[in-house]
């Protein structure tokens, strides 16, 4: 799998709107929502073409001009998938992620896929901001929430990821070989020499959850040299359940994060029915980070553009808003 060159430029599809005028934008939105029915076209066009920072300014201006809460007004005017998408774009990123995590843990079942997708891919700074936002919004720490909603080894992995404490440095060749050896032992390719299974599992978790991305790339290369196997393939074969899924997600994210998201987007639209929640979550959360890279990986792997996939799978204003975020045909 091709990996992005070190220091590869990640680019979002949404950037600051030039000649930005927040009070004028606030007025446009107010007019689009006043009276009977709303001009959804005008709303989605404006919001998808402003950056998140600019949307926060529009909120402020809306409040000072009209004494009303823009989020509340949008909520009452929009519904369904479009509402989820537009309201998601309006939230500051860390608060949006916090809300997605909260939603994944609400009610009877847990949405492990969403927990994994967020916690396995965010940077230290992003994770730390999410922790702060979670506490602010829900008066409970993210760690406590994860603790009461998940269990066993999976819980420990998520809590480790949620500390946002991954090393930031480069690779250490000597340590990479040792790490690869631990991986080979836990994945039962090499003979176990260094202790029992559960302490090995803990070491493997520590390696995947706390080593830096450049270091882990080296570990994966050493692993291939040592075993002739690819670490991702081996995890899929040797492990099962949520633990397998979260480890695979970390490995894929380390190898090529935009490709990881391209795969998730493809799956959200594949076959009968659409997984609108995943589709929305990724389009919103990656729109200012690496959506252009995701688009490139998407067309390379699936021989059709993200734009085409969205067009073939959604409809109405939701479709128009998604295409606006996508930002063009490849």
Give phi and psi for 257, each to the nearest 5: -65, -45
Q: Are 177 and 131 in contact (CB under 8 A)?
A: no
For 22-78, CATH gives: 1.10.220.10
pLDDT the model gives residue 1: 40
Average pLDDT, the chain: 93
Confidence band for 328, pLDDT divided at 50, 70 and 90 = confident
Higher pLDDT, 110 or 199: 110
Higher pLDDT, 209 or 238: 209
Structure tokens at 120: 């396995």
H-helix or E-strand containing 183? helix 173-186
Give phi and psi for 34, each to the nearest 5: -85, 160
CATH topology of domain 93-163: Annexin V; domain 1 (1.10.220)
Same fold? 22-78, 257-326: yes
pLDDT the model gives residue 78: 96
Is 171 strand, coil or helix?
coil
pLDDT the model gives residue 200: 77
266-312 residue pLDDT tens: 999 998 889 999 999 999 999 999 999 999 999 999 999 999 999 99
Q: Are 302 and 290 in contact (CB under 8 A)?
A: no
pLDDT the model gives residue 113: 97
Q: Report the C-alpha gap between 297 and 3 in whole angstroms.
A: 11
Structure tokens at 79: 């519904």
pLDDT the model gives residue 2: 46
| Residues 12-49 as b or e (16 or more Cβ within 10 Å = b) | bbbeeeeeeebeebbbbbeebbeeeebbbeebbebbbe
CATH topology of domain 257-326: Annexin V; domain 1 (1.10.220)
Nearest to 226 by CA among 278, 277, 177: 177
49-80 residue pLDDT tens: 999 999 999 999 999 999 999 999 999 999 99
Contacts of 330 (CB under 8 A, 6+ apart): 295, 296, 298, 299, 305, 306, 307
Q: Where are the domains of the chain?
A: 22-78, 93-163, 173-255, 257-326
CATH superfamily of 173-255: Annexin (1.10.220.10)
Q: Are 285 and 117 in contact (CB under 8 A)?
A: no
Confidence band for 3, pLDDT divided at 50, 70 and 90 = very low
Q: Report the C-alpha gap between 186 and 196 in whole angstroms.
A: 10
Q: Are 306 and 265 in contact (CB under 8 A)?
A: yes
**66-70, long-range: CB within 8 Å, 24+ apart, which pairs?**
66/26, 66/30, 70/26, 70/29
Lowest-confidence region among 136-145, 193-202, 230-239: 193-202
H-helix or E-strand containing 321? helix 316-326
For residue 328, is it left (φ>0), alpha (ψ between -120 and 50) or beta? left
């Amino acid at each position: 799998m091709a990996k992005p060159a070190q220091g590869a430029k990640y680019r979002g599809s949404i950037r600051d709107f030039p000649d930005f005028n927040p009070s004028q934008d606030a007025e446009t939105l107010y007019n689009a929502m006043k009276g009977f029915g709303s001009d959804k076209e005008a709303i989605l066009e404006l919001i998808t073409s402003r950056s998140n920072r600019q949307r926060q300014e529009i909120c402020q201006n809306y409040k000072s001009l009209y004494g009303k809460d823009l989020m509340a007004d949008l909520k009452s005017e929009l519904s369904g998938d479009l509402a989820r998408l537009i309201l998601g774009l309006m939230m500051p990123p860390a608060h949006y992620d916090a809300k997605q995590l909260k939603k994944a843990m609400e009610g009877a079942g847990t949405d492990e896929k969403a927990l994994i997708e967020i916690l396995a891919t965010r940077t230290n700074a992003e994770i730390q901001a999410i922790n702060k936002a979670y506490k602010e919004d829900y008066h409970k720490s993210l760690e406590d929430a994860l603790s009461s909603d998940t269990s066993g080894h999976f819980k420990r992995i998520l809590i480790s990821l949620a500390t946002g404490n991954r090393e930031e440095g480069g690779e250490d060749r000597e340590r990479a070989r040792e790490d690869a050896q631990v991986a080979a032992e836990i994945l039962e390719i090499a003979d176990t020499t260094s202790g029992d299974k559960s302490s090995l599992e803990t070491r493997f978790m520590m390696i995947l959850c706390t080593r830096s991305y450049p270091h882990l790339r080296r570990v994966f290369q050493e692993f291939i040299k040592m075993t002739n196997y690819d670490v991702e393939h081996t995890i899929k074969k040797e492990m099962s359940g949520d633990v397998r899924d979260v480890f695979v997600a970390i490995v894929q994210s380390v190898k090529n994060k935009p490709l990881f998201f391209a795969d998730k987007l493809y799956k959200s639209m594949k076959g009968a029915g659409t997984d609108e929640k995943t589709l929305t979550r990724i389009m919103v959360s990656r729109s200012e980070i690496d959506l252009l890279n995701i688009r490139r990986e998407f067309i390379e792997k699936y021989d059709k553009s993200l734009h085409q996939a969205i067009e073939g799978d959604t409809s109405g204003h939701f479709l128009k808003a998604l295409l606006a975020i996508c930002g063009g045909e490849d």
